[in-house]
Amino acid sequence: MLHDFSYAAPTAREELFSTLARHGKTAEVLSGGTDLLVNIRAGISTPLHVVDLKGVAELAELGFDATEGLSIGACVTVTRLLDDASVRKNYPLLIRAASELATHQLRNRATIVGNIVTASPCGDMSSPLLCYGADVEMASAAGTRRLPLQEFITGVKQTVIQPGEIVQRIIVPTTFCGGTGNYLKLKRIKGHDLGVVAVAMLRYGKKIRVAIGSAAPTPVLLPEFPSDATAETIKEAARAAISPIDDVRCTREYRSFMVEEFIDRLLKEVRA
């Protein structure tokens, strides 16, 4: 049984933001619920008020245009992203990572924005979104602000988001559309599991972009490499950027080893 809280599902933006402003730190925002309800059940999160975003129609929008790029609204589920033809065509790494995220049932509820807001080091969507240079757009009663994803996540499950504020959408620019690459995720079992370590690599023209998950307090984006960079150059940059730990899922050594192994495999793939 969950502790008692109030529930509101505003249908207008103004009502949403005034509700959030009124409740401040005592409110939690609900969209997919696949993290929030687990945390409430475990007593990690104890909101007095749960504010559901799904009543606001515009937050469920998913759209692509050639100028702005891909816009992923707060309530867009992982399944919807996976089924979207423009994402499949233009952002293959997002598809690769989204299909590795949890299970079919969870993907039907969990949202892409929620995966980022949870800010877990192992969040599957972070590394590919970093490779594509995604921005996060926040909104509150005070207005909107926009930050690059790497500035949005500040630590383990920490972000710059303030009480009363939501992430209303993620914007993925067209800069790297048409690039090729992959997302490799190490798991303990063949079935669904949190990533023990994960590497995303994107090759676009004469550039290679690499992001790494589960190897530091936040997902890490490496500096951009020329497409003829050696594996050793990329590995050296990776070693300097990550700070893996020993935990219940894996040792520090194995994480470091697999990051380099994945870099080798991905380089082979993007150069094939």
> Which residues are at the interface with another protein (CB under 8 A)?
1-7, 9, 30, 33-34, 37-38, 40-42, 50, 52, 54, 79, 102-106, 108-109, 190-192
Q: Which one, 190 or 205, has the nearer CB to another protein?
A: 190
Q: Which one, 98 or 238, has the nearer CB to another protein?
A: 98
Q: Tell me how far, at minimum, the Cβ of 33 lies from another protein, in Å.
A: 5
Residue 134 dihedral angles phi and psi, to the nearest 5°: -70, 150
Q: Which one, 20 or 263, has the nearer CB to another protein?
A: 20
- Give one DSSP letter per residue of 138-173, joined into a string: EEETTEEEEEEHHHHEEETTEES--TT-EEEEEEE-
Q: Which one, 44 or 240, has the nearer CB to another protein?
A: 44
Q: Tell me how far, at minimum, the Cβ of 103 lies from another protein, in Å.
A: 3
Q: Which one, 51 or 263, has the nearer CB to another protein?
A: 51
Q: 51: which strand partners?
A: 8, 29
Q: Tell me how far, at minimum, the Cβ of 194 lies from another protein, in Å.
A: 11
Q: Which one, 40 or 234, has the nearer CB to another protein?
A: 40
The H-or-E segment that residue 253 falls in is helix 252-271
Give 197's contacts (C-beta < 8 A, 6+ positions apart).
185, 186, 212, 213, 214, 215, 244, 250, 255, 258, 259, 262
Q: Tell me how far, at minimum, the Cβ of 92 lies from another protein, in Å.
A: 20
Residue carrying the six token digits 């940059």: 237
Q: Could you tell me the two tokens for 97?
A: 């990572």
Q: Could you tell me the two tokens for 225?
A: 């490499």
Q: Which one, 35 or 137, has the nearer CB to another protein?
A: 35
Q: Tell me how far, at minimum, the Cβ of 15 lies from another protein, in Å.
A: 17
Q: Tell me how far, at minimum, the Cβ of 192 lies from another protein, in Å.
A: 5
Rounded alpha-carbon distances, angstroms, from residue 244 to 136, 147, 153, 263: 26, 26, 17, 16
Q: Tell me how far, at minimum, the Cβ of 143 lies from another protein, in Å.
A: 29
Give 130's contacts (C-beta < 8 A, 6+ positions apart).
149, 150, 200, 209, 211, 219, 220, 221
Closest CA relative to residue 18, chosen from 168, 166, 167:
166
Q: Which one, 191 or 226, has the nearer CB to another protein?
A: 191
Q: Is 35 exposed, middle or buried (0-12, 13-18, 19+ CB in 10 A)?
A: buried
Q: Tell me how far, at minimum, the Cβ of 187 lies from another protein, in Å.
A: 11
